[in-house]
Chains A and B, each alone.
Chain A
Amino acid sequence: EAGVAQSPRYKIIEKRQSVAFWCNPISGHATLYWYQQILGQGPKLLIQFQNNGVVDDSQLPKDRFSAERLKGVDSTLKIQPAKLEDSAVYLCASGLLGSPYNEQFFGPGTRLTVL
């Protein structure tokens, strides 16, 4: 079974530039999550989708971050404009709808460096 795919794996941009990350979840997984993991910290949930609807985006900085999940499969996370403090690894995870344990399967992440 293929895992969660993310691209690019690494990205370096200058502050005030824009950047987008892509995630392809495991086939059949209805829930999709984006996390931000700053160096030395645990992952922090940014947004959670169920199919193509947003379940929770309370910690998403909406003035600069946006995410979408068209057709309930792939998802993109965008930052515009980027700030230095956005340097982090962005993790995508997916899970089965209705899983009683809400188990998530994580992708390898995208490491973003903002200069």
Chain B
Amino acid sequence: AQSVTQPDIHITVSEGASLELRCNYSYGATPYLFWYVQSPGQGLQLLLKYFSGDTLVQGIKGFEAEFKRSQSSFNLRKPSVHWSDAAEYFCAVFTGNQFYFGTGTSLTVIP
């Protein structure tokens, strides 16, 4: 069965520090992979997506993610976090039939 795992429920980082949010997926073929961000009271906003080609993808707001087939991972990174990045982050996989979302990682940014 398809699944998406985000092992970190909550992460706290200092403003200006680097960030990495983990995502692992379970799917037989190469999936379409996404990262979304959800601010309080808002809908989900697409940060970036991977379908094929270069395994390092760039997204909006300075985020990037790297697809590692051998590890079934698609981790999200940002070199320097801003206070406005505090939000909930969701990894998702599209199997060609349906979207599956992870349970999310809540990011707190401290000054």
Interface of A with B (CB < 8 Å)?
3-4, 33, 40-45, 48, 56, 91, 93, 100-109
Asked if B101 is at the interface (CB within 8 A of a chain A CB), the reply is yes
Q: Is the CB of B103 within 8 A of A106?
A: no
Interface of B with A (CB < 8 Å)?
4, 32, 36, 41-46, 49, 51, 90, 92, 94, 97-99, 101-104
A43–chain B nearest beta-carbon distance, Å: 5
Given contacts A42-B4, A101-B32, contact A106 B98 (CB under 8 A): no
Q: Which residues of B contact A101 (CB under 8 A)?
A: 32, 49, 51
Which A residue's beta carbon lies closest to that of B104? A42
CA–CA, A60 and B101, complex, Å = 16
Q: Which residues of A contact B103 (CB under 8 A)?
A: 40-42
Interface residues of B: mostly helix, strand, loop or mixed?
A: strand
Q: Which residues of A contact B104 (CB under 8 A)?
A: 40-42
B83–chain A nearest beta-carbon distance, Å: 22
Q: Besides the contacts A40-B104, A104-B46, what 20 more A-B pairs have beta carbons closer than 8 Å?
A: A4-B43, A40-B103, A41-B103, A41-B104, A42-B4, A42-B90, A42-B103, A42-B104, A43-B44, A43-B99, A44-B101, A91-B43, A91-B44, A93-B43, A100-B51, A101-B32, A103-B46, A103-B49, A104-B99, A106-B36
Q: Is the CB of A42 within 8 A of B102?
A: yes
CA–CA, A109 and B64, complex, Å = 27
Q: Which residues of A contact B101 (CB under 8 A)?
A: 42-44
B96–chain A nearest beta-carbon distance, Å: 9
Q: Which residues of B contact A105 (CB under 8 A)?
A: 46
